[in-house]
Amino acid sequence: MEISVKKINKRIEDYQLEGKEPSVLEIGYKTYAQLMHEDKFADALKKDPNDPLLRFYKNIKIKVVTEKHYFEVR
């Protein structure tokens, strides 16, 4: 699966255009590693001050899943 920050932003925007508010980005662990190489993604990540394992992208929680190459907005 070839994914970029541009594609993620487009998927989030499409989800919002459907009238839904995204609460979780489910990302496969290899896809997450690939995205971390993009400065735009890595710089936009925020950590939860109470739980260092929680990450947020555009105030949407990130859930890393065991599927290698996966991305879904929920």
State the Cα–Cα distance between residues 48 and 74, nearest whole angstrom.
19
Q: Is residue 54 assigned to a domain?
A: yes
Per-residue pLDDT at 1 exceeds 80: no
Segment 6-45, tens digit of pLDDT: 999 999 999 999 999 999 999 999 999 999 999 999 999 9
- Beta strand 24-28 with 60-65 is parallel
Q: Which pLDDT score is estimated for 23?
A: 97
pLDDT band, residue 2 (cuts 50/70/90):
confident
Q: Would residue 42 count as lying in a domain?
A: yes
**How many C-beta neighbours within 10 Å does residue 24 have?**
12
The answer to whether residue 74 sits within a structural domain is no
The predicted model gives 36-56 an average pLDDT of 95
Which structural domain, as residue segments, surrounds residue 62?
A: 5-68
Structural domain count of the chain: 1
